[in-house]
Every structure is written in structure tokens, then in C-alpha cells.
Structure 1
Amino acid sequence: MIRTGLLLAAGASRRFGPQDKLLAPLRGQPLVAHAAQAMRSTDLDHRIAVIANPDLTPWLEGFRIILIAQGQQSDSLRAGLQAAGIPDRLLIVLGDMPDITAAHLSRIIATTTDDLPACSHDGRSPLPPACFPRQSLGALETLTADQGAARLLRQLPPAQYITAPTLLRDIDHPEDL
């Protein structure tokens, strides 16, 4: 079984201000380094990072880097899907979620079946990180504009949710750090 991890780190950070939030320091490292380390500590066959800022590259050792122009969320996802090919499992992680752990990512992968994705849940709604089986990858390719996979994840049965509210903080504003 081929397991590929896809780190999406090409957002515009508009709500954060002029600085690239993924380079903002948190616990002694840039924000993006935390999600990247969790992925490096997860049993994956391949790791891909989609970025718009080449200054992120030093923090992404062990990842195949896909550099794109800043655009919509679906642009980043599509670029990652193209680079990933057709793995058996595709784990999607956002670069601005510093509290995720390898154990959480591993549980998501283990919960994914050949027929159903699995994802994180904060007690209110499904969220990334999420893992998609091969047969679900086509649905991801249909997403457009600034649309993530949330619509697809809301359709999952509760057994496919890994509840972990303390791990799912994402950074949108400087005060979130």
C-alpha cells in the first residue's frame, strides 16, 4: 500500500498580515516546521509540499517541493494531486496547524478504508488533516476556487472522524500564535 503525505502550504495568509504566516516563529521554529515534523514522523512512503514561497524550503527536508504561484486553495490541492499520482492513501495536512502529531496522523490513515476517507473532528465539524483512499481522489480533483475538501468530509459517517479538538488549532491571525 502506497501512502503519500501532502502538505498544503501555499496560501496567501491574507488574514495574518503582510508577513508569510508559515515563517512566523512558534516554539522556536517557523510555523510550517511543526506540521512538517509531524509528517516526517508518520509512516509515509512519499511526502510532498506544495508551496508558493521558496523561503519555506529549508524547513521541508524530506519533502518533494512543488512551487506554485499563490492562488486559490483548490490550485494548491490540484498541484499536489498531480504530483502525488495515484497512491492508495493520500494524507492531506495544512501547514498552519502546528499542534498535530504523528500519532493523530497515523490514526487518520488507519481509519481510512478502501471506500471511505477519514478526517479530524473538533467536536463540531470535520477538518483536516484528512486521508483519502485512491477511489476518492477523483472527487478532490473537482474542487474549484477557494473550496477545500470540507464538503466531502461532512458526508462521512461518524466512525470516520478522529476527534482531537486540542490538536486542531490553525493559525489565521498573529494573535493565534
Structure 2
Amino acid sequence: MNTIALLMAAGQSRRFGRPKLLEPCHGKPLLHHALSPLLSRYGNRLWVVLGENPAALLPHLAGAAWLHCPQSQLGLGHSIAAALRQLADQPWDGVLIALADQPAVPLSHFDRLTQRFQATGEIVASGYAGIKGAPALFPRHCLAQLQALEGDRGAQALLRSVPRSQVIELGQAAIDIDEPADLQRFLAQ
């Protein structure tokens, strides 16, 4: 199966108070830690989704392709929908959606998501603390639903229906950097 990946980096960093993806994290910008494993696995099948002012992040994309979502302030769901409208003509069977503020997701987790997707052809979600979320892999037949997303809940409505057998536990990598204290906890590990 031909899968592509979206790294969602269009957020406003409202709770963080400043552009969190550029914050230093183990000697590199936070963005690097989410981008690097995806770039190594997906290469030219990866697109980084950037928001209203992409210029600050462009030098940190390590050659990855990017998509512009000029109305990213409308939320994650809107950004996913806008990106997939831009990629609707691309040949793909599945799309992995990952978040740039999840710096601890290892390549092995992306591989497990992909293996489960290839075996079933159905949505595969990450699990943490009883929640189904990103990174998640969606089959092409979900395209219309993904393109209709809006608001800041991302694809939560689609993920609620995912059976437990299609959830890969994220474990210790379930770190989401929303506030400066989250980054400090991650750096202290």
C-alpha cells in the first residue's frame, strides 16, 4: 500500500505563548524531533503542514515538502482538511497524520501503525491513557470525511469509532508539548 504522511505544524502555540516548534530541545528545534523519524521513513511522501506565517519554520524542514494552510487559526481539523484538499490528486492508499508537538514518537511506532494498516486497510490510531489519537493512519476511503473536518478537535470524531484491535499503544512516547512546563518535563526525562 502507498501511504503518505502529514506532519501537522500549523498550530498557533497559544498555550505555549511563543512559537513552540522552534524551542530548543536537546540541541535542536522541537520540530526536528517529530520531523526526523517521519522524513527518514516517508521521504518525498511526507508533507509538513504550515500555518499563516511559514517563513520561520521553512529553514528547519530538512528538505521536506510543505503545504501552506493560511487559515490555520480555524483549528487542527481545518488544517487537516485543507492539506488533504491540496493532496486529493496524489496517488495514496493511506495517510498518516502526526503532530509536530509530539517529539517522542519513535520510528518503530510509525512502523507498527503502518503494519497494522497494511494488514487491515482500516483506520489505525495511537492509544494513550484510554484516548485514541494521533499519530493515526487513515485509508483513502476516509478522504471525504477528513476533508470535511473543521475546528480544533482534529479527527477525533473518526477515531472514536476505531475498535480496540486497531489501536497501537504509544506508552512513554505519549508526550504532547502544549505549554512550557510540558517541554521542561520532556527535557528532564
TM-score, normalised to structure 2, is 0.86
How is 1:46-85 mapped onto 2 (pairs within 5 angstroms)? 46-52=45-51, 53-69=54-70, 70-71=72-73, 72-85=75-88
The answer (yes or no) to whether the contact 2:44–2:65 under 8 Å persists in 1 is: no
Correspondence 1:131 to 2:132: no
What is the DSSP-based 3-state SS (H/G/I as helix, E as strand, rest coil) of the residue aligned with 1:38?
helix
In structure 2, the partner of 1:7 is 7
Alpha-carbon distance in 2 for matches of 1:164, 1:50: 23
> 1:150 is matched with which residue?
156
Partner of residue 110 from structure 1, selected from 115, 124, 128: 115
CA–CA distance in structure 2, aligned partners of residues 6 and 111 of structure 1: 18
Distance 1:88 1:14 in 2: 34
Q: Distance in 1 between matches of 2:11 and 2:76?
A: 7
Q: Is the 8 A contact 1:116 1:136 kept in 2?
A: no
Q: State the distance in 2 between where 1:4 and 1:44 align.
A: 9
Aligned-pair Cα RMSD in Å: 1.6
Q: Deviations over 1:121-143 (max 9, x none)?
A: 01311110000011112211121
Distance in 2, Cα, partners of 1:148 & 1:68: 14
Give structure 1 stretches of 5+ with no counterpart: none
- SS across alignment from 1:41: helix
Output one character per residue of 1:88-108: Cα deviation in whole Å (capped at 9) or x when no partner. 010000000000011101111
State the match for 1:27 in structure 2. Answer: 26
Q: Among the aligned pairs, what percent are the same residue?
A: 35
Aligned length: 176
Shift, 1:45, TM fit: 5.5
Opposite residue 16 of structure 2, the aligned amino acid is F
Contact 1:3/1:44 (8 A) holds in 2: no
Distance in 2 separating the partners of 1:44 and 1:159: 29
The answer to whether the 8 A contact 2:43-2:64 is kept is no
User: Quick one: which amino acid aligns to residue 124 of structure 1?
Assistant: G
Structure 1 length as normaliser, TM-score?
0.92
Separation in 1, partners of 2:56, 2:86: 20
Structure 2, unaligned runs of 5 or more: 184-189
Q: Aligned-pair distance for 1:162? A: 0.3
Q: What is the CA–CA distance in structure 2 between the aligned matches of 1:13 and 1:45, rounded to whole Å? A: 27
